[in-house]
Chains A and B, each alone.
Chain A
Amino acid sequence: MSTLTSLARAMAAASGTAQPACTVRHVHLSPRPLVFIPLALAGEANAPLAALVGDDPGAPNLLVVPEPRDRDLRFAFAADLAAVVLRYTASYCADQEPTGGRDPGLRYADAPQLLVPNPGGIAFTRLLGRSTRFRRAEGPYAVAESVPVLGRWLTFFADRTESPASSLMLAATDALSAHWATGQSPAEDRNLAVLLGWIDPPPGMSGAQAAALAEDPLRSPPTGPATDPTFDNEVLDQRILAVRTARLTGGGRAYQRAEAALTDALATQLTPTWTLMWRAAELLRGLPEAAHVRRRWDADKDAFTWHAGHIREGGPPQPRRDGAVSAAGRLANTERVQEMVAAQRAFDDPLVMAEYRMTGEAFAGRVAAAEPDRVDATGRRRVLRPRVTVETGDAVLAEPGATLTSPARPSQKARVIAVTEANGRTRVLLELQGGMGRALTPEPGSVPAIGEPVCYAAFGDGYQPPPAFPASEDTPWTHGGPPPRYVPADEDAREDWS
């Protein structure tokens, strides 16, 4: 959030329609995402109730747990889900492409993408992954072979959502509200139906009106994983009870009838969201893709390729919690990536950059003066150090000595020599280095010309190397010493799920 997005909210509130918060799309959107809409039984840690899942808008798979408190049926559900998810991920394990970078290798040419309605969907996925990935296909409480594999994939997707750079799994509400500002609070934006009401109201209706209507759980059922309490109390309860009783009294046609009734009821809660999800994808696709998105998606492809290999080679499942070293490594990495993504977003999107101009971390203006051929002879050898003076109306935080970067010339560093203010405008004298070719005269266009509109930011989108951490087996005494190696225990596989 920033003053600019808040202003956009204010404008949306006044006008009754959502306002753009970005000018380009900052997330990757797969041409064939896997939409996953889970419903959970209220009051339970992670009791799947039903799910609508599939990569074809025209052909959703409806999975139902007719008896949500029944362990065996839950695993049956997990197996059904595995069938869909694993078929989908497998479909990306065919064509390969060479990886860029220092150590060239092969990676899968594209990666899967999971779309859930909201952050709750991500949390549910993480828990479902947690509750299935330690299971085993043999021994006590054996489950279908696909179940633990599903668990590891779901965990993988959920974990990736913690990386600001990843698009492997997206929550529709997050993706949408990152690109549009509504006239309501971020808390309310977490309701997909309402959010879409703002962004994409039906003809003849303002966004505000559409949103208000969408708040009625009868008109647009909650997008999960939580269900509407009145649905639980007035519909679901009887339907589940009917199924249970029919089962006790020997199944047969009564059971089929009861189960069908339950399935219908759950379908009424899920199908509206299915439509919303594909509409959301469509809207996002409508935005032009930001320049850096492709590069970030490549990293996602690498991650996907690595994990697929890890599973294929029989590597262990993800641990319950991070060890000391992996926790520190993950934090450092996330911080690095977050900084990088923030910079990339600003460089790709003037509206995002405007937020930094607001705070003075960046400024834009026109080149008022330039010495493109200036050569610095003070050092051992003469070097090309052109100077430009940028005049701007923006606030400027940068102080002499600071190094700035321009989205137009990311490979070029600009050192602040002087900052002077005159009648409300600021003049910044910059000395340029790099990105001008080898000679003592700059390549054409490599130095901003007088009158050229330019923007300079206190941050660059350059790559910082990850910090080095000790190997996990060298965890020092300050952090509890080396952790025990993971050995799959029967206890893991046996863990109740009731």
Chain B
Amino acid sequence: MTGPEARLARLRGRSLPRSHNARTIAALASNPGCARRAILDAAGADKQRLAAYAGFPAPFGQSRFALARGNAFEAQVKAEGAAQLLTLLRTHLNLPIPEAHYDDLGEVGGNASLDLRHARTRTLLARAAASQDEAGTMFDHPLLRLEVGGRHAFLEPDLVAFRLHGRFHVIEIKSFAVIDGQADGDKVAAAAIQSAVYVLALRDALAEQHIPPEAVSHETILVCPENFSNRPVAVSLDVRKQLTVLRRQLSRMARIADLLDLLPPDLTFDLDPDRDGVPRRRPAELAAAIRQVEARYAPECLSTCEMCFFCRDEARGCTAALGRDAREELGGVEHVQTVLRLAGRIDRPAPGTDLAEAAALLRQAARLRAEALREAV
């Protein structure tokens, strides 16, 4: 291994690489400006572990009940050859009755090896796309592959449906409820961009067999519990926007190499584990290493990135930590202290210099605020 690959491996150190998955790929769109996240993900570093070891464990965990609910719901709609799902598809894609095939790609001959499953997925999907007779309708947990920054990531959509004379549809099964036709906008957004990742991967897989991208519909299908029941309902998601964004962000993965060049050659996030895997590296030292890669912290990270508390601590005293709007309204001044010095006329930048306009803005704000408070008492 040489080049970026080797470099990333060195950064990751001795821990197992966490390969990209739909969620991490989707995350490319959630804060694409953040070099730290880009590098850590590209290196396949375990952000959760690093953050915790550096003393800033991520604030979010997964509740057992949520997991249970998720698994139970997927199991339910897929039970008996995905009987419930089939019913939905029949109405939703007006799937003809004979189209009731179900292929389990979750394992191959009792073997769950990824390469084996991937190979089989490709064969079955290609056959379905090529042949005119019934050659598969529902493919349960197909295993796809997508190239992300030069590395292959294995991706596992919940289900891919194929309609005769029609196209492939990515199906995403989520356990959040659709109530009176609406669902949590953020959860849907997450589902949509994940589905888009699968659409890309599926199109890649078929492209290898010279099947045009149109064979995979940009209308993906979201299956959720309806209202307060366990009854599944299907909704179409048009993921064209998400596809544009993803394509763009994936194409920018190449810049990882440039980002790497900016880092000290000996930089690593290795935890220096001893024989029993107990880390020996000094947390402060790891933290210092992480700080070498620039972050772009915004409060939005608090719900999306495992590193958020680390970065927030680093951003303390920066206007960015107060939120994007606040920073904007403070004239884009970087540091809280500077803001106050400008507002309090302690710093008086010369006209025409960078901070002059911000200074004027802040001075006026300070003046008005003081006046108003005086008036109030």
Do A and B share a direct contact in the complex (Cβ within 8 angstroms)? yes
A binding-site residues for B, Cβ under 8 Å = 1-11, 13-14, 20, 23-24, 41-46, 127, 130-131, 183-188, 215, 227-230, 232-233, 236-237, 320-321, 349-351, 353-354, 357-358, 364, 394-395, 495-498
Within the complex, the shortest CB–CB distance from A218 to chain B, in Å, comes to 13
- Contact with A7, one of B66, B181, B230, B365 (Cβ below 8 angstroms): B365
* Residue pair B376, A11 in contact (C-beta under 8 Å): no
Q: How far is the CA of A349 from the CA of B337 in the complex (A)?
A: 28
* Residue pair B375, A350 in contact (C-beta under 8 Å): yes
Within the complex, the shortest CB–CB distance from A318 to chain B, in Å, comes to 12
Extra A-B contacts (16), CB below 8 Å, given A43-B69, A349-B376, A350-B371: A1-B326, A6-B330, A11-B340, A13-B322, A42-B64, A43-B66, A131-B228, A184-B322, A228-B61, A229-B63, A233-B64, A350-B373, A354-B371, A496-B231, A498-B228, A498-B229
Within the complex, the shortest CB–CB distance from A189 to chain B, in Å, comes to 10
5 contacts between A and B (CB under 8 A): A13-B322, A186-B325, A354-B368, A496-B227, A496-B230
Contacts of B375 in A (CB 8 A): 350
Q: How far is the CA of A192 from the CA of B299 in the complex (A)?
A: 17
Contacts of A357 in B (CB 8 A): 368
Query: In this complex, what residue of B is CB-closest to A240?
Result: B65
Contacts of A23 in B (CB 8 A): 372-373, 376
Contacts of B330 in A (CB 8 A): 3, 6-7, 10
Task: Kindly specify which of B38-46, B172-180, B247-255, B277-285 makes contact with the partner chain.
Answer: B172-180
Interface residues of chain B: helix, strand, loop or mixed (majority): helix
Contact with A along B325-337 (1 / 0, CB 8 A): 1110111000011
Q: How far is the CA of A351 from the CA of B229 in the complex (A)?
A: 49
Number of A-B contacts (CB under 8 A): 157
* Residue pair A1, B325 in contact (C-beta under 8 Å): yes
Contacts of B181 in A (CB 8 A): 321
Given contacts A9-B326, A350-B376, contact A45 B176 (CB under 8 A): yes
B binding-site residues for A, Cβ under 8 Å = 59-70, 175-177, 179-181, 225, 227-231, 299-300, 302-303, 317, 319, 321-323, 325-327, 329-331, 336-337, 339-340, 343, 361-362, 364-366, 368-369, 371-373, 375-376
Q: How far is the CA of A215 from the CA of B313 in the complex (A)?
A: 13
Given contacts A6-B322, A7-B330, A495-B227, contact A42 B63 (CB under 8 A): yes
Q: How far is the CA of A496 from the CA of B17 in the complex (A)?
A: 44
Q: How far is the CA of A7 from the CA of B359 in the complex (A)?
A: 12
- Contact with B228, one of A5, A42, A215, A497 (Cβ below 8 angstroms): A497
Query: In this complex, what residue of A is CB-closest to B67?
Result: A43
Interface centre among B61, B225, B300 (most CB of A within 10 A): B61
- Contact with A351, one of B60, B68, B376 (Cβ below 8 angstroms): B376
10 smallest beta-carbon distances between A and B, as pairs: A43-B66, A496-B229, A45-B177, A43-B69, A23-B376, A229-B61, A185-B299, A42-B63, A185-B323, A350-B372
Given contacts A1-B329, A45-B179, contact A495 B228 (CB under 8 A): yes
Q: How far is the CA of A2 from the CA of B369 in the complex (A)?
A: 12
- Contact with B340, one of A10, A43, A188 (Cβ below 8 angstroms): A10
